Amino acid sequence: MSAATRHGGDRIAEALQAHGVEAVFTLCGGHISPILAAAKARGIRIVDTRDEATAVFAADAHARLAGRPGVAAVTAGPGISNTITALKNAQLAQSPLLLLGGAAPTALQGRGALQDIDQRPLVAPHVKRFFKLRRVRDLARAVAEGMALAASGVPGPVFLECPVDLLYDEASIRQWYAEAAGKGQTLADRALRWYLNRHAARMFAGSAVETAPAPLAVATPRAGDGALRAAAAALQRAERPLIVIGSQALVQSQQADALARAVDRLGIPVYLSGMARGLLGREHPLQMRHARRNALRESDAVLLAGVPCDFRLDYGRHVRRSAKLIAANRSARDARLNRRPDVAAIGDAGRFLEALADALTPAPAWAGWRDALRARDAAREAEIDTQAAARGERVNPLALFRALDAEAAGDAIFVADGGDFVATASYVLRPRGPLAWLDPGAFGTLGVGAGFALGAAQARPGREVWIVFGDGACGWSLAEFDSFVRQGIPVIAVVGNDAGWTQIAREQVKMLGDDVGTVLARSDYHRVVEGLGAAGLLVRSDDEVVPALREARAIAHGGRPVLVNVWLDRTGFREGSLSM
């Protein structure tokens, strides 16, 4: 490619390629077309969606599974504003991603150009840095800086604003400016031509120099030796120690197996949440699944690894005041949120657990504590079995998840998108191994399902990908079955259809005596996806569940996405589940 025809999109694509980016998730737009075309020309897969939020959700999921920033590209104005919920979700989930956003031409910003808005105040609160680019030569360097920043420290999203006149070749842009200036000879006409020529010269200055966009080093933050010694001493003295591991401990997803081995060596009972679900496999004796609140209140030393004391731990009140609290977290703020720990280990939580396993000798006294927690877990599992055996007019959700847990492949990845239905799944479904469970995180965002599935399928090709949808949540993702079909991504979706926003209705009806806004229909979601080229199955009784799940797997293995619409019975399994 000659210097004359080389354009800004090429520079961005080369930088992405140098960083090992395999896919760019997008919804097309004229402001970003050069990026997409150049990335495709370099072998980077362009995964196009029907909603910009889906593209960012997909980049988020890809980052979580691949262990490096995911990349999305969206057009200017409404394309960017459509991403805000997904950007905020990634920020709160601490997912590293790079969002490439289009923008109006630099010379026309603020003058009423197409899709021209001031994008910084809209986006900046939700990203680690907003790069406002004004020179072609800065594009590749900004990609390298953005990728490194997204993954460093507390991971999160980074935004690059790429005006359209930086993305096309210099000759085309200069011609466009010449046509915009016209050929008039008035003083104003000549002044405009002078200004635009000078503006173009500044934009393209130094762009003839070729620079290799080498990736920048990303250091892993590590807790100090003092914190490690203090934590080891506190746990060694404890009679009832407990570990809670969250998503942040798996930021370096390639270290998941090493982290699992470390937890095994520690010998301390553990609860897993978020992306950490599945870390120890399905049946590890150290992993506890039920009555976490009671266990935390009984424990005399609690290690929170990548877990803040937010609403999920009742703002720290689940841990009794007399217990030694150890917080391992990349974020000093999160480590101290709502509850000041006795030991603050500020650094990567996964690496801290690995170091702790080297420093700690499991105490014999812990065996009785582990046995007591396992006995309580077994009793709760027996209760769930009894509840799952109950028959009603339609499908028992507990029985459905028992069946799904038995039928899904050994390498299945579960994507969770819903309220009541997904919360029920979290009690029953057992992720097969590390990085096999994707949920939104602390923001509680609905609508992540299709995007997360797209990202998972790209990051883990050949793996069986299931989406567990509530019937309310699936409404955001139905159009993306077109994306699955067009791009040959054979996801399996299971919709728990109880004709309502049940998580909200449980407390709203009880407290306010009104179901307003919480009632849905038992819609034919399976027929909707059939219209988009996917397969659809309807299940209305318990006896139909296993045959339908097996048929769905067979369809997906044949390369076609499928949705199973399951008519559920209402249950009292999650009464009193309101969170604030």
Contact 183, 122 (CB under 8 A): no
CB atoms closer than 10 angstroms to residue 461: 9
Contact 504, 419 (CB under 8 A): yes
**Going by C-beta distance under 8 Å and a sequence separation of 6 or more, which residues neighbour residue 278?**
272, 430, 431, 432, 433, 434, 435, 436, 437
**Going by C-beta distance under 8 Å and a sequence separation of 6 or more, which residues neighbour residue 411?**
432, 433, 436, 463, 464
Residue 458: DSSP 8-state:
H
∠ Cα 457 461 462 (to 5°)? 110
Backbone CA torsion sign across 8, 14, 18, 19: positive
Residue 419: DSSP 8-state:
S
C-alpha distances out from residue 543 to 389, 398, 550, Å: 12, 14, 13
**Going by C-beta distance under 8 Å and a sequence separation of 6 or more, which residues neighbour residue 393?**
569
Q: In Å, how far from its chain's centre is CA 344? A: 26
Amino acid letter for position 19: H
CA-to-CA distance for 374 and 391, rounded, in angstroms?
28
Amino acid letter for position 390: A
Contact 472, 499 (CB under 8 A): no
If DSSP codes are grouped into helix, strand and coil, which group holds residue 53? helix
If DSSP codes are grouped into helix, strand and coil, which group holds residue 538? strand
Amino acid letter for position 168: Y
Closest CA to 251 of 151, 159, 328: 151
Closest CA to 34 of 170, 138, 145, 134: 170
Contact 401, 425 (CB under 8 A): yes
pLDDT tens digit sequence for 272-328 = 999 999 999 999 999 999 999 999 999 999 999 999 999 999 999 999 999 999 999
CA-to-CA distance for 163 and 105, rounded, in angstroms?
5
Place of tokens 């994306």: 483
Closest CA to 248 of 335, 345, 350: 350
What are the chain's domains?
8-204 (3.40.50.970), 225-373 (3.40.50.1220), 389-567 (3.40.50.970)
Query: Helices marked H in 268-348 — which ranges?
Result: 292-298, 332-335
**Going by C-beta distance under 8 Å and a sequence separation of 6 or more, which residues neighbour residue 50?**
27, 479, 480, 482, 483
CA-to-CA distance for 338 and 445, rounded, in angstroms?
23
CA-to-CA distance for 576 and 572, rounded, in angstroms?
9
Question: What pLDDT tens digit does each residue of the chain (580 aa) get?
Answer: 555 568 999 999 999 999 999 999 999 998 999 999 999 999 999 999 999 999 999 999 999 999 999 999 999 999 999 999 999 999 999 999 999 999 988 876 777 777 778 899 999 999 999 999 999 999 999 999 999 999 999 999 999 999 999 999 888 888 887 777 677 788 876 787 788 888 888 888 888 877 767 899 998 999 999 999 999 999 999 999 999 999 999 999 999 999 999 999 999 999 999 999 999 999 999 999 999 999 999 999 999 999 999 999 999 999 999 999 999 999 999 999 999 999 999 999 999 999 999 999 888 889 999 999 999 999 999 999 999 999 999 999 999 999 999 999 999 999 999 999 999 999 999 999 999 999 998 898 999 999 999 999 999 999 999 999 999 999 999 999 999 999 999 999 999 999 999 988 988 898 999 999 999 999 999 999 999 999 999 999 999 999 999 999 999 999 999 999 999 998 777 665 555 5
Phi, psi of 452 (to 5 degrees): -60, -40
Residues forming beta bridges with residue 495, ordered by sequence position: 469, 565
Position 181 scores a pLDDT of 67
CA-to-CA distance for 113 and 104, rounded, in angstroms?
6
Q: In Å, how far from its chain's centre is CA 137? A: 32
Phi, psi of 91 (to 5 degrees): -60, -45
pLDDT tens digit sequence for 62-96 = 999 999 999 999 999 999 999 999 999 999 999 99
Query: Helices marked H in 267-307 — which ranges?
Result: 292-298
Strand residue runs (E) in 141-220: 157-163
Position 577 scores a pLDDT of 53
Dihedral (Cα; 381, 385, 386, 392), 10-degree rounding: 140
- Assign residue 445 a region: left if phi > 0, alpha if psi is -120 to 50, beta otherwise? beta
Contact 235, 303 (CB under 8 A): yes
Position 188 scores a pLDDT of 78
Position 574 scores a pLDDT of 67
Phi, psi of 105 (to 5 degrees): -55, 140
Phi, psi of 307 (to 5 degrees): -130, 120
Backbone CA torsion sign across 376, 382, 388, 392: negative
Residues forming beta bridges with residue 270, ordered by sequence position: 243, 287
CA-to-CA distance for 104 and 163, rounded, in angstroms?
5
CB atoms closer than 10 angstroms to residue 30: 12
Phi, psi of 489 (to 5 degrees): -110, 105
Using only C-alpha atoms, what is the Rg of the chain? 26
Closest CA to 146 of 161, 122, 134, 129: 129
Task: Record the tokens describing residue 426, joined without a space.
Answer: 């979290």
0.85 surpassed by pTM:
yes
Position 298 scores a pLDDT of 97
Residues forming beta bridges with residue 131, ordered by sequence position: 160
Task: Record the tokens describing residue 505, joined without a space.
Answer: 């209705």
Contact 34, 1 (CB under 8 A): no
